[in-house]
């Protein structure tokens, strides 16, 4: 993963901790982990943003699904101790007709069972688009999860640009206002990473359909403002656009140019 990131001129990357559509996790190869850590240190990588499997739902109406989610998260966090100081991003979950109140309660119960003082990984709640019964469509819902978690020092937020747009936040014309609202409701110190994705949808559509940078409703100027922002530019930024590797390399080059970085 480290070598591939270098080939794209990336200085961070995301990776799935296990099969994104299932429950299996490969056994750790400690020698491979050590080699990755050497690559990261030698090339000045920022923090990585590991991603939980999509099937993980801490607030499902099915107790077996909840049990899997808790076991998977606990196992992932234990494995991530091999890469200390990085992030573990997950979708808070879908309450499946139980209502957001019950959904938030179940998420907090799961986090309170899994988070352990002294763990080496900060867990990130991802901002969601609000499709279906997703929890995390508003800053207020994320704040309530944080408030209901005992070891909240181990929690942060990953802001997904497509998701917040689709949830109704105007990051195109009022990025600073959205960040001010985030700061008021959650606290800007909780914002630890970004998913940079354009959107196929207008603001407030609640559909969550990613688009390539500059080809959606957000546009290039929105991303220029993000990568130049004095606070946001210090955070790890991960692309989840519909691309192949060469497309990601082109987007990374574009974002570096927008940020005013030397291509060398």
Residue with tokens 């600073």: 176
Is the pLDDT at 36 greater than 80, yes or no? Answer: yes
How would residue 98 be classed by pLDDT, with cut points 50, 70 and 90? very high
Question: Considering the entire predicted model, what is its pTM?
Answer: 0.95
Six-digit token string for 63 = 């107790």
Point out the catalytic residue in the list 126, 134, 166, 251.
126
**Is a pLDDT exceeding 90 seen at residue 26?**
no
Residues in the chain: 264
Query: Does residue 91 carry a catalytic annotation?
Result: yes
* pLDDT range class, residue 89, cuts 50, 70, 90: very high
d(CA 86, CA 124): 10
- Which of 18, 190, 192, 210 is an active site residue? 210
Is 203 considered catalytic here? Answer: no
Q: What angle do CA 164, 169, 170 make, to 5 degrees?
A: 120
Convert the pLDDT of each residue in 170-212 to its tens digit: 999 999 999 999 999 999 999 999 999 999 999 999 999 999 9
The structural domains of the chain, with segments of one domain joined by +, span 2-22+31-258
In the structure encoding, which two tokens stand for residue 230, read together? 């004095």
| Distance, CA of 38 to CA of 3 (rounded, Å) | 11
Helix axes 175-185, 139-147, angle to 10 degrees: 20
Q: How far from the centroid of its chain's Cα atoms is residue 111's Cα?
A: 16
pLDDT digits (tens, 9 = 90+) for 48-74: 999 999 999 999 999 999 999 999 999
**Catalytic entry in 18, 91, 144, 192:** 91
- Half-sphere exposure in the Cβ direction for 39 (13 Å, CA): 19
Active site residue 95: no
Looking at the domain that runs over 2-22+31-258, which CATH code has it been given?
3.20.20.150
Mean pLDDT computed over 139-150: 98
> Tens digit of pLDDT for each residue in 226-236?
999 999 999 99
- Residue 264, pLDDT > 50, answer no
Beta strands in the chain (DSSP E): 14-16, 49-51, 87-90, 122-126, 155-160, 191-196, 198-199, 210-211, 237-239
Whether 113 shows a pLDDT value over 90: the answer reads: yes
pLDDT at 262 (0 to 100): 61
The SS3 call for residue 87 is strand
Matching residue, tokens 């867990």: 123
Query: Catalytic residue among 137, 163, 190, 192, which?
Result: 163
> Is 54 one of the catalytic residues?
yes
Q: What is the pLDDT of residue 52?
A: 95
Q: What integer pLDDT is reported at residue 23 of this predicted model?
A: 76
Q: Decide if pLDDT at 263 tops 50.
A: no
Q: Is the pLDDT of residue 261 over 90?
A: no
Q: Decide if 137 is catalytic.
A: no
Angle of helix 100-114 relative to helix 63-79, nearest 10 degrees, comes to: 40
Is 195 noted as a catalytic residue in this protein? yes
Of 18, 79, 137, 195, the catalytic one is: 195
Question: If you average pLDDT over residues 81-99, what whole number do you get?
Answer: 96
CA distances from 1 to 48, 94, 165, 196, 246 (A): 11, 30, 30, 19, 15
């Amino acid at each position: 993963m480290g070598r591939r990131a270098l080939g794209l001129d990336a200085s961070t990357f995301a990776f799935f901790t296990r099969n994104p559509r299932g429950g299996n996790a490969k056994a750790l190869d400690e020698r491979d982990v050590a080699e990755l850590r050497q690559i990261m240190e030698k090339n000045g990588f920022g923090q990585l943003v590991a991603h939980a499997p999509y099937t993980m739902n801490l607030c499902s109406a099915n107790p077996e699904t909840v049990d899997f989610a808790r076991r998977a998260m606990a196992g992932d966090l234990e494995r991530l101790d091999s890469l200390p100081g990085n992030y573990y991003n997950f979708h808070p979950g879908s309450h499946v007709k139980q209502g957001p109140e019950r959904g938030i309660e179940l998420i907090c119960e799961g986090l309170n069972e899994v988070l352990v003082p002294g763990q080496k990984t900060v867990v990130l709640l991802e901002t969601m688009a609000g499709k279906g019964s997703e929890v995390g469509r508003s800053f207020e819902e994320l704040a309530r999860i944080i408030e209901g978690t005992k070891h909240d020092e181990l929690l942060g937020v990953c802001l997904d640009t497509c998701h917040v747009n689709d949830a109704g936040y105007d990051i195109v014309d009022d990025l600073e206002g959205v960040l001010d609202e985030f700061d008021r409701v959650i606290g800007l110190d909780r914002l630890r990473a970004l998913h940079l994705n354009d959107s196929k949808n207008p603001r407030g559509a609640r559909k969550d359909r990613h688009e390539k940078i500059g080809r959606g409703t957000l546009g290039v100027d929105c991303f220029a403002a993000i990568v130049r922002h004095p606070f946001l530019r210090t955070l790890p930024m991960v692309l989840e656009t519909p691309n192949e590797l060469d497309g990601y390399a082109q987007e990374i080059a574009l974002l570096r140019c927008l940020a005013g970085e030397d291509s060398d």
